[in-house]
Structure formats: structure tokens, C-alpha cells
Structure 1
Amino acid sequence: MPVINYQNMTIIQRLFLLRTAAIIIQFLTVLIVYFVMSLQIALLPLMVVIIVESLFHILSILIFRQRDAGNVAIVLQLVADVIFLTVLLSLSGGATNAFVSLLLLPIVIAAVSLPASYLLFISFSAIASYSALLLTMPEHTMHHMDMSNHFIGMWANFLLSVIVVTFVVGAMARVITNRERAIALQREDQLKSEQLLALGVASAQVTHQVATPLANIQLLYEELAEDYPEHEAIVAMAQPLTACTNQLGYFRSLATSIRENKKTQLSVTELLEQLVDQMHFHFPEQALDIIQADPVHGKIVSDAMLLPALLNLIQNAIRANEESQQQHITLTVSRINNTLSLQLRDFGAGIEANMSQAQREVLGEQMVVSKSGLGMAVFLSNSTFQRLGGKLKLINHSEQGCIALVTLPLLLDNKEDE
């Protein structure tokens, strides 16, 4: 016998399961009341309503087996439940029926499943149904039983119950949902932090392991340079060794800055000048075209990793250009409200076509395996931007290449704010 896993069901599946049980209970209740308890009820009309409800239920199951159900679809299903229940109650005593409080069930389901606006709609529908049942009660029932005050009290009690369910249960459900969402985000951040920590430890180990051999090579070079100062190989070694030594020192200062969490304010002009200088130094064969419709004034919060994060994106763009034999990239700089927008475009083949849509959506949020690697550079860059309050988005250009869209909070001057 298959086991029903209620926790893994969607909202619409849970609703269908509850309605299946409700239809069975309705059918059995009508038969027991009529045949066992020998009470005079409208048997045929009640059975017709239950059959129509069953047909609607089966049709709904067939429809939503092939498609996802949004909030509107769930609201329509709950409204249908309210209508069917109201008709059944009207045929079996109306507001005097002991099961009239079942009109609370659609409200409870909506409270734990739907946003507040849809919950209010279902609540008003149930109140309107109960009110209609009370107003359409025969006059002789009221006078014969002298129960008018009692029925009005029942209606008031139902109204109070609806208010409690709508606001209290609904609020509790939203708190739980928000808490679960916050926990999920915290888990993602923790996983990302663990990945970054692992990469940082690995980088520190590599830097430490490279430092000693590099120092030995530097000593050998200095000794050889004294004995053979004009030798072609010795002269050729000077620049690469100097670059390695400088880069290693830069890594050490970078690690110190990250450890001390140093942050500074950097103007947009200074940032662009540093990018151009690094571009000329590291990639002299490529051209960086900066496009600004209007100069962007103001400053951004920067740390030691901001420039390397942008250079990672530039290096990816240059690699894409080289594969397509292109020699320039464009950087469009603009201001959107209080945000600095940097659009870096290459003229390569764009984001890999064999990458799935799910992989593209999480590109930058986590490391993604592809032909070009694990997406580590994009992952590290995006982590830096997020730490500074920004974000990164990668999209294919409509004509050619890929656009890396970086947004960072912009600190405006007082004059600029005015």
C-alpha cells in the first residue's frame, strides 16, 4: 500500500486530498441521516449536489495534473468549496445545520497557503455564505422555535471565528513562511561562506608554498646576474621574476586587508582610472572603451577585493574575445537612482549554449561546472559585490557577446542629492 507523504505535497494536492475525504464524509453522512436516523431531508437534491461536486473534483485533478496551480487557481478551488458547502447546507437546514461551522475550513486552508489579499477574499466569501443562509431561513422556523436570537448569536460567533482565523492564523502562517525563507537564505549564505573559506585557505596555502621556491630562484638569479650580467637568459628572467615577486607581495597585502576588513570610499572616476591602468598593464593587446552618457559623480564603498573582482570579469571578457578574434570590450557606466551601473560587454560567443537554464540562473551564486571551468571567477566576483551591497548578473547580448551587469550602491554628494 503506497504511503502518502503529506509534507512533500503541493498546496493544490493537499486541497484535493482534503476534498476527497470531505466528499466521502458528505456522502456517508447523507445516507446515515436519511436511512439510519430516519430524518426527512432532501435526499435527491443533496445527492445531485455531491455528484456535481465529485465531477468538478475529478475534472480539477485531471487539469492540474498537467500544470502548476497558482494562487488564483487555489482561490477558485476554495470558492468552489464554499459554494458547494453552502448549497448542501441550504438543502439541509441552512443556518440551523450543526455543520455550518465547516465554512471555516476554506478560511483555515487559505490562511496557511495564500497571501493576505486572497485570504481576505475567501473570508468575505464564507461570511457572505453564512449570512445568506441566515437571511434565507423560513420565518416559521424562527417563530416556531423562538430561536432567532440563538441563530444570530451563532452567526456572530462564526464572524468572530473568521476574524480570529484570518488575522491570527494568517499572521502565524506568514511568520512561519518568512522564517523558513530566512533559514533557507541563511543556509545558502553559510554554504557560500564555507566555499569561500575553502578557496581562501587553498589560496593561502598555494601562496605560502610558492613563496619559498620563488625566494630561492630570486637568490640564484641574483648570483647568476653578478657572474653573467649580460647573458640573454639572465636579462630575460628579470621582468618575470620581478612581476612574480610584486604579485606575491600584492597577495599578502590583499590578505591582510581582507583579514582586517578595511573599507574605503572610492569615487567613480578613481575606479575607472584604476580599471584603465590595470587594463593597460595586464592586457595591452585589448582595448577598453568606456561609454558614459553623463559623468557619474559620487563614491562607492570599496575594499581590497573590488578591483580584482572587476578584473576577473574583464579577464573573462578578454578570453571570450580572443576565442572570437575580437580586440575590444565596452564598459557602459550609468547611474540609476542611487545605484552605480557597470555594463561590461565582450564580443565573444556569449554564455555557453550547452548550459541549462537552471545553471545560468545560479551562475555567480555558486560554482557551476561548464566547458570553461567551474565559474569560480564569477562566483568570487559576485561574492565581493554582494558583500559591498551590490550584485552581478550575466546575460547574453541580443547581437553578439555577453554582458556582465554590476550594480553597486552609490554614495552621492549633498549637491548631487539636491
Structure 2
Amino acid sequence: MPAGPPSSQTRPDDALRRLISLRWLSIVAMGGVLLLVPWLLDIPLPGESLLPVVVVLLVANGLSVLRLRHQAEIHAAELFGQLCIELAAWSTFLYFTGGATNPLISLLLPLVAIGAATLSAPYAWALAALSVAAYSVLWDFNEQLDIYDSGLAVHWHLAGMWLTFAVSAGVIVWYVVRMTSALRSRDQALAEARETRLRNERIVALGNLAAGAAHELGTPLGTMAIIAGELARDPKLGDTVRGDAELLLEQLAHCKRILGSLTLRAGSLRAEGGEAMPADSWLQGIADRWRSLRPHVPLATRIDCGTPAPRLVADTTLEQAIHNLINNAADASPEAIECEACIDGEALAVRVLDRGPGLPEGFDAPCSHAVASASGKGLGIGLLLAFGAVERCGGRIEFSPRSGGGTIATLTLPLASLRP
């Protein structure tokens, strides 16, 4: 028989845990029959033959628990063997208690159902064939119990059939419900992984476009820098125009530095050669650099990272993520924006507050492939890159409405991923 993999519907270790739980239920059921049937129904049972079956199941389950603690891979054949042990135990138990005439014979059916839900098709069919064979053998080969009142025997047989049906239904529902819950959790994890993969693919595509744009922008930026420099040195220009030309030169210099650091921003999780610095100094530096790029938008900062502030080595993409959040707030509310930062437990929390129009209806940034900026004017690339950078560090970005109008963007980063 081909030793195919276990059904893709469930993980092998989870399936083994459920089979161990099922065996505990079998042990309790057999023990209950041994203790209660002679007392309640006045039907003698061969305890010297049945007790070893319960002991063997106890030993087998103890070994299975120890097996589960080891990290070795669990194969489909092992799960098949576990169910065969269960089948053999119940077949032996039934052999000494009337065989096919015992209403407990129906308990073989849940084993087949569980095998069909857990095993690959060849093993599931093999278990079904073994169950049918066991039922057939027990039809002719068994040891009948001594029941003196035939009328009472029929009554208790019917009652046993009802009880067996109820137990079988409960076991099947219990097992299938647990397996279905595991399936839903797996499907949700797969959907989240698919979303992350699609977002990462878009980020890679943007990186390729950025590399080409950086190459093509070098020449026009150089030309603009030359013209702006000549304008700034022209004595015929008024002070206002000369100031604008100098500001233009400064912005062009920023553009050149950004293009020159593209390879570093596309690098590893932490910038190579980066120097550890206090969290408040790092955040203040980000705010100062942003102010130099957009001097006409007032930015109020409140940074309280404790004394002394934790030292960190941050990825340059995280700096860009905070920069993009502040940019989005400035686009939505150019009159004034605020940036707050503090240590929240074992995480660094950065909040960017604006007084813009607020979040659009149905806004769900993490689940969107085309995230719009807060103002609705941008392409959403900034937020897309911000989410990618923060998720790589194990952090998260959340948006919420601000009391009195506007939006609060909260970026949370675990300190463990930032410490040197």
C-alpha cells in the first residue's frame, strides 16, 4: 500500500492529539462497562479477559503522549497504526462480550468516520476494510454472555443500541467540529499569508521601478540644480526670489541624498553599519528631517521615551514609514499636525494626529492592495511601503478617528526587534 501523506485537511500532530483524546474516551467507556453493567444490569462480564484490554489501551496511550512530545515527523502510517490499535482493542472487547450481538459493535463506525477525515484515501479505505472484516469475524466468532431472561435481554439490547447510537453521534460531531475549526484557522492563516505575499510582490515591483527612476532622475535633477544655483547667484534678483532659489537648491540636495540611499533603504532589516542611538534622538531626527523637507507645515512633537531612553538600531525603512505617515497627515491637514511617541510596555508607540477630513468609509488599509493616502490625492505607495516595513519588524499600523475631527495613525514597534 502506498504510504501517501496524511490528508491535507489536518496537520499530523493535531490529528494525533485528537486520536489520543479519542482513546481516553474509549478507556473510560470500557471501564464504565466493566464497572456498571454487572451492577446495574446483573449481567456477568469476564473481567479477567476484558481488564487486560483496558490496560493495553492505557499503555498505548501513554506511549502516544510521550511520542507527541518528540519533534520527529508524524507520518500517515503512524496515524493509521493508532486507529488500528483502537480497532483491535474494541474488537477484542466485543469478542468477549457477545460479538456482533453486542450493541457496542456500532462503535466501530466512528473509527471509520474519523479515519476518513484524518487519513489519506488508501489508508482510509484500508481501515474501513479492516472494520468490516472485524464485524464479519465477530458475527461467527465470539463468546456469548449469560443472560437468563430473554425478554430482559431484548430490552437491554435495544437500550444498548440507543446508547451506542448516541455515543457514536456525539463522538463524530465532536471530532468533525474540532477538525472544522482547525480548517477555518488554517484557511484564515492562508488568506493572511496570501495577502502578505501579494503586498510583498507589489513592494518588490515598486523597488524595481524605484531603481529605474533613480537612474533616470539623475540628469534632470543635476540640470535643475545648476539652474537653481545660477538663479541664486544672480544679483539682479530680489531677495524673495533668491530665497526661493536657495530653498529649491536645498530641496534638490535632499532629492540627491534620497536617491543615493535607495540601495540602503532596500537592504536588510537593519541598516548595515547603523549606529545605536536613543529612541528619542532617533525620532527627533526623523521629525527634524521632515521639517526641512516641508517647512511650511507646522509639526508639533511630544516625545517621551523615558530616562534613559532605550537604545535602538532601526531599519532605515522604518524611518521612511514614520516619514510617510507624517506626510499623509500633512496632506490631509496642512495647517498643523502632531507627532507623539512613548514607550508602551515592551513596544515603541508613535502616534501621528491630524485635523483632516478623517478616514473614508470602509477604509481598511492593511487589507487593501491599492491603499489611498489620507487626502485621497496620493497613489498610496507611501502607506503600502510603511505597512511592509513595519510588518517585517513584527509591528503594526492602526488608524482611528480623532475626537473633534481628523485621524490618528498609531505605529507600534516591538523593542526586541530594534535593540542592538
Q: 1:207 to 1:189 in 2, by over 3 A?
A: same
Query: Please, which runs of 5 or more residues in structure 2 have no aligned partner?
Result: 1-101, 119-148
Residue 248 of structure 1: aligned partner: 256
SS, match of residue 314 in structure 2? strand
Q: Is the 8 A contact 2:305 2:343 kept in 1?
A: no
Q: How far apart, CA to CA, are the structure 2 residues paired with 1:210 and 1:412?
A: 34
Residue 187 of structure 2: aligned partner: 180
Residue 144 of structure 1: aligned partner: 151
Tell whether 2:384 aligns with 1:372: no
Residue 198 of structure 1: aligned partner: 205
Deviation at 1:386, TM superposition (A): 1.3
Q: Is the 8 A contact 2:305 2:342 kept in 1?
A: yes
Q: 1:364 to 1:161 in 2, by over 3 A?
A: closer
Q: How far apart, CA to CA, are the structure 2 residues paired with 1:165 and 1:192?
A: 40
Tell whether 2:284 aligns with 1:273: yes
Q: 1:240 to 1:295 in 2, by over 3 A?
A: same
| Count of aligned residue pairs for this structure pair | 279
2:388 to 383, 387, 410: 383
Query: What amino acid maps onto 1:289 in structure 2?
Result: T
SS, match of residue 358 in structure 2? coil
SS, match of residue 333 in structure 2? helix
Q: How far apart, CA to CA, are the structure 2 residues paired with 1:166 and 1:304?
A: 52
Q: Is the 8 A contact 1:338 1:412 kept in 2?
A: no
Q: Is the 8 A contact 1:300 1:408 kept in 2?
A: no
Query: What amino acid maps onto 1:284 in structure 2?
Result: P
Identity of paired residues, percent? Answer: 24
Residue 310 of structure 2: aligned partner: 298
Tell whether 2:246 aligns with 1:214: no
Q: 1:206 to 1:397 in 2, by over 3 A?
A: same
Query: What amino acid maps onto 1:268 in structure 2?
Result: A
Q: How far apart, CA to CA, are the structure 1 residues paired with 2:243 and 2:287?
A: 29
Query: What amino acid maps onto 2:185 in structure 1?
Result: N
Bigger shift: residues 298-307 or 210-219: 210-219
Residue 283 of structure 1: aligned partner: 294
Alignment of 1:8-407 (within 5 A): 143-144=150-151, 146-147=153-154, 150-151=157-158, 154=161, 157-158=164-165, 161-162=168-169, 164-166=171-173, 168-215=175-222, 232=237, 240-241=248-249, 243-263=251-271, 266-285=277-296, 286-290=298-302, 292=304, 297-300=309-312, 302-322=314-334, 326-327=335-336, 329-352=337-360, 355=361, 357=362, 360-362=363-365, 365-368=368-371, 371-407=376-412
Q: 1:205 to 1:170 in 2, by over 3 A?
A: same
Query: What amino acid maps onto 2:412 in structure 1?
Result: T
Q: How far apart, CA to CA, are the structure 1 residues paired with 2:246 and 2:155?
A: 103
TM-score, length of structure 2 as denominator length: 0.53
Alpha-carbon deviations, 1:70-115, whole Å to 9, x = none?
xxxxxxxxxxxxxxxxxxxxxxxxxx99xx99xx9xx99xx99xxx
Q: Is the 8 A contact 2:398 2:410 kept in 1?
A: yes
Alpha-carbon deviations, 1:314-363, whole Å to 9, x = none?
122222222xxx33x222323332122212111233224xx3x2xx1236
Q: Is the 8 A contact 2:280 2:305 kept in 1?
A: no
Q: 1:209 to 1:336 in 2, by over 3 A?
A: same
Deviation at 1:307, TM superposition (A): 1.3
Q: 1:257 to 1:402 in 2, by over 3 A?
A: closer
Query: What amino acid maps onto 2:315 in structure 1?
Result: D
Query: Please, which runs of 5 or more residues in structure 1 have no aligned partner?
Result: 1-95, 113-141
Deviation at 1:312, TM superposition (A): 1.3
Q: 1:369 to 1:313 in 2, by over 3 A?
A: closer
Query: What amino acid maps onto 2:184 in structure 1?
Result: T
TM-score, length of structure 1 as denominator length: 0.53
Query: What amino acid maps onto 2:382 in structure 1?
Result: A
Q: 1:219 to 1:349 in 2, by over 3 A?
A: closer
Query: What amino acid maps onto 1:401 in structure 2?
Result: G
Deviation at 1:204, TM superposition (A): 1.8
Q: Is the 8 A contact 1:306 1:385 kept in 2?
A: yes
Query: What amino acid maps onto 2:325 in structure 1?
Result: L
SS, match of residue 305 in structure 1? helix
Deviation at 1:295, TM superposition (A): 5.4
Q: 1:191 to 1:310 in 2, by over 3 A?
A: same
